Structure 1
Amino acid sequence: MSSARTRIAVVAAAAMALATPLAVRSAAATVNTATTVGDSAEAAQSPNAPASFTAAQVLAGVKKNSTTANKVNTKPHINTMTRAQNVNVYQVTSGVYAYSSSLAVDDDGSDPDSDPDHQDQTTFQDSNGKQLAAHHVPFYVLGDDCWDRKSPCPHFFYKEHGIKGRQFALMFYKSKVIGAIFGDTQTGNDQTTSQNDSRELGEASVKAAALLGINSSGTSGGVDNGVTVVILSGSQWVVNGSNANLNANAQAMVQKALDTLGASMHL
């Protein structure tokens, strides 16, 4: 599980580009680099092929649909970096959940790390049962339980929304978008460390931070705000693979996810 560590605050992230593409060119997500928000996938040859949506279009749709009417939680979540209770989760289209918060760096798992709070285990494992490698696998972190001990949970609790380990998500930051998986959890209220709180949202792995161009140090990295995570629920969006190829497998799903969301949000 994600360990508590002293968060070093950084300058708040610049506002994301929401509508106008930064560039319009043919590009797809690669194994080691994030897709630029303005990039579009190569146009389909068939005139009857479904439209290909850009990351900028999809992010704009997510923001447009992040309204009070679509809010899932009735109590606010905690920004992991700033500790402000101002993070909300929205169902932006059927089975798709989005939130914007910080990126606090989680370096737990099978990769060694100099962070004194590093733990060798992650809540979820790769398809071979190995602990996830935070330096190689882009993963995001959700709360471990319902902090309120109620059902339905007043906070967003992943088990109530068809979300499982290795669930795919798009992560947006400034001009970039990457694919990531659900890999670790923020410890629940049965823990004694003061800053462990399952209401937190805004933590992701070393690899996720690096792909997004964020300082990826577990002790001094991260950003206070500006990262948007869009989770696609359902078994068809669970990513399989080993630590060696989970990153490649996640990035290969980015354009499919963009196209699915673009169509479902009627962009």
Structure 2
Amino acid sequence: MRVRSLMLAAAGAALIAPTAPTAPTGAAPPPEAGHERAGYGGPSAGNVPRAGGAADARKTPGPGKVRATELLAAVRDCAPVSNDRFSSDDGEPADIEVCGRREAVFWKADLDIDCDGRPGRHCNEHTDPLFCDTTAFQQSDGRQLSAERLPYVVVPGPSHRWNHQEHDVRRGTVAAVIHGDRVRYAVVGDIGPDDIIGEGSYALARNLGMRPDPKGGGAASGVTYILFKGSGASPIESPGAAEAQGERLARELVGRG
């Protein structure tokens, strides 16, 4: 069960200073694709990725792209950097650790759909009972992020468990998100409850081939999140900027940089 983010725009601004504004790119929304969450060793649930087809073929990593297997091997061993564990959902056991290495922090969880931010056709108060029209961080033009257009991940609010700011994770930090054999790049775009982890935007779930319905889509388990320390897509609302920087950082992480 997804819970509403506890940190909204004002809270996000107070926690993390925004980067200098730059002109938005006006990136168009990515093509339609398909959500739910889980922790280490958590049970899988019955969310089935959409059937393959021409769109899937276009998204298959090319020879030069960093593969899911390479990234998963690079983060196979967990050196915990969180002081306590997180739950995948409200009421679930706390069994998810945030792990770290010099270049990145990472965790394995589920993926619940965050549909918050600028209202659209798929993300609004009618499609999402927990819809909130603000995100912790905003676009370079001051508008709220669009969960429908922008692949973003949600980080837990700072607490005794873990403070993302202390690990050089902030607004626009670039993330590689892996599900199955797919690698997709995103940015840190919202802040959630301080005891729950494993959430991404409608656009991120769609790009990963999940059902992006905020009422039960996503993935119940098996999603790996890798956040590259000190990175930052500019402007934050550009999926292309996140992908270009993410691919470069992923190559460095797996030793192909």
- Please report how far the alpha carbon of residue 249 of structure 1 lies from its aligned counterpart in structure 2 after TM superposition: 1.8
Are 2:109 and 1:97 aligned?
no
1:80 corresponds in structure 2 to 89
Are 2:116 and 1:108 aligned?
yes
Structure 1 segment 1-267 matched on structure 2, within 5 A: 3=4, 12=44, 34-36=59-61, 39-41=62-64, 53-63=66-76, 65-66=77-78, 70-80=79-89, 83-91=92-100, 93-112=101-120, 113=124, 114-146=127-159, 153=160, 155-186=161-192, 197-234=193-230, 237-241=231-235, 243=237, 246-263=238-255
Partner AA of 1:220 in structure 2: G
Partner AA of 1:73 in structure 2: S
Partner AA of 2:175 in structure 1: A
Distance in 2 between the 1:34 and 1:252 partners? Answer: 15
Distance verdict in 2 for CA 1:163–1:231, change over 3 Å: same
Q: Is the 8 A contact 2:137 2:144 kept in 1?
A: yes
Secondary structure of the residue aligned to 2:204 is helix
Secondary structure of the residue aligned to 1:210 is helix
Per the normalisation by structure 1, the TM-score is 0.70
Distance in 1 between the 2:226 and 2:36 partners? Answer: 25
Of structures 1 and 2, the one scoring higher in RCO (CA 8 A, sep 6+) is 2
Partner AA of 2:201 in structure 1: S
Q: Is the 8 A contact 1:35 1:178 kept in 2?
A: no
Distance in 2 between the 1:9 and 1:250 partners? Answer: 23
- Please report how far the alpha carbon of residue 242 of structure 1 lies from its aligned counterpart in structure 2 after TM superposition: 6.0
Distance in 2 between the 1:12 and 1:178 partners? Answer: 21
- Please report how far the alpha carbon of residue 175 of structure 1 lies from its aligned counterpart in structure 2 after TM superposition: 0.9
Secondary structure of the residue aligned to 1:122 is coil
* Structure 1 segments unaligned to the other structure (5+ residues): 15-29, 43-52, 147-152, 187-196
Per the normalisation by structure 2, the TM-score is 0.72
Distance in 2 between the 1:123 and 1:171 partners? Answer: 20
Deviations 1:24-75 (A, max 9, x none): xxxxxx9xx7554xx4317xxxxxxxxxx53321211211x22xxx111231
Partner AA of 2:64 in structure 1: A
- Please report how far the alpha carbon of residue 185 of structure 1 lies from its aligned counterpart in structure 2 after TM superposition: 0.8
Deviations 1:144-191 (A, max 9, x none): 221xxxxxx3x22111111111110100000100101000111xxxxx
Partner AA of 1:163 in structure 2: V
Task: Report the aligned-residue RMSD.
Answer: 2.7
- Please report how far the alpha carbon of residue 253 of structure 1 lies from its aligned counterpart in structure 2 after TM superposition: 2.5
Deviations 1:220-259 (A, max 9, x none): 212211100000111xx1111264xx11222223321221
